[in-house]
Structure 1
Amino acid sequence: MNPLVDIRRLDQSLWLDFISRQILQNGELKARIDNDALRGVTSNPAIFEKAIGGSADYDDTIKEQARQGKSAEEIYVGLAVADVQAACDLFRPLYDSKDNSSDGYVSLEVSPRLAHDTEGTVAEARQLWKDVARPNVMIKVPATKEGLPAIRTLISEGINVNVTLIFGLERYRAVTEAFIGGLEDRAKTGQSLARIDSVASFFLSRIDVLIDPMLEKLVADGKAEAQPLVGEVAIASAKVAYEMYKEIFAGPRWQALADKGAHTQRLLWASTGNKNPKYDDLKYVEGLIGPKTVDTVPVETMDLFKERGKVADTLEQGTDQAHKVLDALPGLGLHLDDLTQQLEDEGVKKFIDPFGKLLDSVEKKRKQAAEGAEALK
């Protein structure tokens, strides 16, 4: 049995955290959909920087658009939109099927430079939604304080949203409130709530990357009680977030929206590639398998899970222990709200930097094409 296929038995959906023109054109993405039960794709500026800056696959299009006088950012958006459209079309049969389970989506991110600009985020998200022109695109919006009202507005307009860069539980709750509020705003206007989908992307490995060294230092300083917490904070946070999900999407307030056709905003586990050589590379995949969730994984992690992954309903195991892990942190001087805010700030920067590199790479190719065209005159 292929573990990638078997995981559907537990109602978890695997999405691929990668996109490139190469895998769209050589049949690799379609093969993963057909053979490995792949149910969606996520992208971000770092992924596009790797795809566009690290290959010649886009050069002809860049040259053509450079000759039309387009800027580097206009060219990038055109390239990204074209790739996302092609991927959306490959997933369209799944999206249209009776067993879509809110899957078949491809995510495209607004410019990370707009992370603290509510109006700018809304305007760009609307434009990307219009440009891609596919019902199974999700527009990625960061869960910054400025992103929250943008999420509510976009959901109220019927635009699917992948809320990204969630690290903390209180921010996760605020994200669900923005989603539910957006649906309520839309319901008041009498518009349909059906087929408006959203995921809340909770980032995992980066939490442990930040907090583990702090815990290890405490252990070295004689605080032995910190030792059992090493490597546990991210998964504990995710398990408590899932508990919150089940509580939030229940009761009369949610039921009123569900009766009008609304789907829940599923949790999506992101940053699932292991970054610590001490841990198993499948730590963040195998540890959080459970119903009505999505896991977006890098190519290498997906291939490894196919080879040796163990499928078991792990998400709701050890919930009491998860609470104990989180409850122990303040007594050690570690305050999750402050640390997760730091992670959010760093996360925005980690997308802004590759976005800048991406535009620099496109600009370099654009200039070469423009100069070549000028020389031919």
Structure 2
Amino acid sequence: MTNSRLKQLHEAGQAVWLDFLERRFLAEGGLRRLIADDDITGVTSNPSIFEKAMGHGDAYDAGFKQVLGTGETSDQTLYESQALEDIQAAAADLEPVYDRLGQRDGYVSLEVSPFLANDTEATIEEARRLWRSVDAPNLMIKVPGTAAGVPAVRQLIADGINVNITLLFALAAYKAVAEAYMAGLEARLAEGKPIDRIASVASFFVSRIDTQIDKKIDARTEAGDADAAALKALRGKVAIANAKLAYAWYEETIAGERWRKLADAGAMPQRLLWASTGVKDPNYTDTLYVDTLIGPDTINTMPPKTMDAFRDHGVISASLTTGLDDAKAVLADAERLGLDLDGVTSALVDDGVKQFADAAETLLRAVAAKRAALADTAKS
């Protein structure tokens, strides 16, 4: 009998990935327990996660000392040595899942430097280097869904590298990376290379959209806007509606002739992954962005707090494929009322790149501080 609600999500066709990575957690078997108890089938990481992991406590001190003992090295190299070790450990924990599911899941994601988000060639080269360094078939390289990231995705897929496209907020941006995925597979197929073991996910961000849209709604409502009632009715609904339309487009695409040709050659669909699923507004249920986006061939990547909440009181239903007309009406109302979803999603991409770059800078400062502290300890 299935007890875990997270396992029930898996049975409903939705994979659950953990949006967290930390050395002590891995060493103590935390990921292996989640795999066994809750059917967790993947892990995502980003600079913010590594900053929290490495910048606090002593879990990485031994690793830092070992690398520093080999000679002079940069803060970037020092950080990367430890990040790659964690990624390789997570990949090893997930390898049985990867094998059991026939390479359709069991992935761990590692992000290219956020400083390269607007440089296609540098992104490609960094992704190739990280792919070689980790040397695990169940690695996904995270590439931002910026204008420069889209052609990088096409090339990396043609190279046979698994790609997780991140920072997707708008339907148009999602369509562009889905097109890049298919074009990359087609290019590879044209060269006579296999495409049956190449995986990709499109990470569609959710809660950040509502955070910005709700701010606009609240400001106009507090100012006595004549459409206050209609505006209030949209709070907490726009991001979910946006995601539902993205999934509807996905279903149309995989039913089309272009995708069928690729599928016949063994291609795996590029699954939609719901990211930024932690709830920011205390007025909403803390499982809002899980309960409302449950559907086949999707992934929800959850921070530990959201995972714990869903395990405790999440609601499981076929929510992603229901209420599509309502979702269209929500987005139509948002446009009619001037909430400018396109402007919000465009700004969120730029802000997301900046947030990850800021986190990377904070991370490198933390590594530098660790280096100095360890040097002082060695002298005393």
Q: TM-score scaled by structure 1?
A: 0.97
* Deviation readout 1:64-87 (Å, 9 max, x if unpaired): 222321111011111111101001
What residue number does 1:222 align with?
226
* Deviation readout 1:240-283 (Å, 9 max, x if unpaired): 00001111222111111111100110000000000001100000
Query: How far apart are residue 62 of structure 1 and its match?
Result: 1.1
What residue number does 2:63 align with?
61
Where 1:15 maps in the other structure, the secondary structure is: strand
What residue number does 2:147 align with?
145
1:75 aligns with 2:52: no
What residue number does 1:175 align with?
177
In structure 2, give the amino acid aligned to 1:234.
Answer: A
Counterparts of 1:1-377 in structure 2 under 5 Å?
A: 1-67=3-69, 68-97=71-100, 99-100=101-102, 102-219=104-221, 220-223=224-227, 224-370=229-375, 375=379
Query: How far apart are residue 343 of structure 1 and its match?
Result: 0.5
Tell me, yes or no, if the aligned pair for 1:66 and 1:370 is still in contact at 8 Å.
Answer: no
In the alignment, structure 2 segments of 5+ residues that lack a partner are none
In structure 1, give the amino acid aligned to 2:53.
Answer: A
In structure 2, give the amino acid aligned to 1:352.
Answer: A
Query: How far apart are residue 370 of structure 1 and its match?
Result: 4.5
Q: TM-score scaled by structure 2?
A: 0.96
Query: How far apart are residue 310 of structure 1 and its match?
Result: 1.8
Distance 2:312 2:58 in 1: 31
Tell me, yes or no, if the aligned pair for 1:63 and 1:365 is still in contact at 8 Å.
Answer: no
Query: How far apart are residue 100 of structure 1 and its match?
Result: 4.6
Distance 2:237 2:97 in 1: 35
Where 1:39 maps in the other structure, the secondary structure is: strand
Tell me, yes or no, if the aligned pair for 2:168 and 2:205 is still in contact at 8 Å.
Answer: yes
Number of equivalent positions: 374
* Deviation readout 1:213-255 (Å, 9 max, x if unpaired): 2122333312132221111011000000000111122211111
Where 1:229 maps in the other structure, the secondary structure is: coil
In structure 1, give the amino acid aligned to 2:171.
Answer: L
Query: How far apart are residue 352 of structure 1 and its match?
Result: 0.8
Query: How far apart are residue 153 of structure 1 and its match?
Result: 0.5
Q: CA RMSD in A?
A: 1.3
Distance 1:353 1:104 in 2: 29
Deviates more, 1:246-255 or 1:288-297: 246-255
In structure 1, give the amino acid aligned to 2:212.
Answer: L
Tell me, yes or no, if the aligned pair for 2:107 and 2:139 is still in contact at 8 Å.
Answer: yes
Query: How far apart are residue 101 of structure 1 and its match?
Result: 6.9
The 4+ residue runs of structure 1 with deviation greater than 2 A are 216-220, 367-373
In the alignment, structure 1 segments of 5+ residues that lack a partner are none
In structure 2, give the amino acid aligned to 1:221.
Answer: D
Deviates more, 1:319-328 or 1:223-232: 223-232
In structure 2, give the amino acid aligned to 1:341.
Answer: S
Query: How far apart are residue 305 of structure 1 and its match?
Result: 1.0
Identity of aligned residues (%): 49
